Structure 1
Amino acid sequence: MFYGYLVPGHGAFARHFTMALASTFLIALAHSMTMFFFIGTGKHIKELVKEHGLGQEVVRETILYKSKLFPIMMAAIAFTMAQFILGGGVHTRVLPAWLHHILGWLAFGSNVYCFLLETKYLVSNARLMSSVYRAVDR
């Protein structure tokens, strides 16, 4: 975002575009990989519960994590991608700059919030998996 506010300056647009492209790709990749992690661990826990006759509350817990986290992750990805894509419209002067500014701050805020939630639920998921593994090892 920093380079975006320097765009009228010499060479700032190239840096802004390069950073935007890289960060959009990495953010979408990180959130997507986190989603697949939750899907995979949820499936694994479901299989362990079925094989070892554990309580279904563990499976419901993984579903709860995904239901709380996935909509926020999708919003963060959508705001980030919209910001990048519509930035091209601002660069060509088809769209107003204020739209790019607002989307930039929405993308930033949604990603910060999403990363905090991901951290919380990754820790909770790790604890849940540990408890399932302990129950299976008994």
Structure 2
Amino acid sequence: MTLLWALLWALIPAGSSLLCNDCSSDSWDSCQITSCPVYSRACATFHQVQNIYGNATSLFQRFCTNSKTCYESFSINNGYESFRQASECCSSDLCNTGTPAVNLSTNGLVCCAGSVPNCQTTVQCVGDEEYCFTTQSE
């Protein structure tokens, strides 16, 4: 394996584009090495967790990106489904090997899970969920 990496590095000319791991799946097993386009100055790793009525699924992504899309982490939870994303970026060859942690720790905020004015269910907020929102049906 070390000989393979040495040969790979010997074939890459100086000043060439950034190399990143590239994959998108429910595991890291399918990653490949990709040469990034010139406008991509970073390697990204995204971890997304979606939970619909208690059925949680994870999606992992690694790819080339520009630095403007780095560190786009967020969380939204309406009480019945939630979507959370954590990301990390780096700028050296094949550096996107980590797994960003999605924060699932409760933070003390409790929000209404449903439409106003009848808040029949509440939801414990987690991670960086810092605001409540409501919807109103007509």
TM-score category, normalised to shorter length:
under 0.3
- Name the structure, 1 or 2, with higher relative contact order (CA <8 Å, separation 6+): 1
**TM-score, L = length of structure 1:** 0.26
**TM-score, L = length of structure 2:** 0.26
- Name the one with the larger helix percent: 1
- Name the one with the larger strand percent: 2
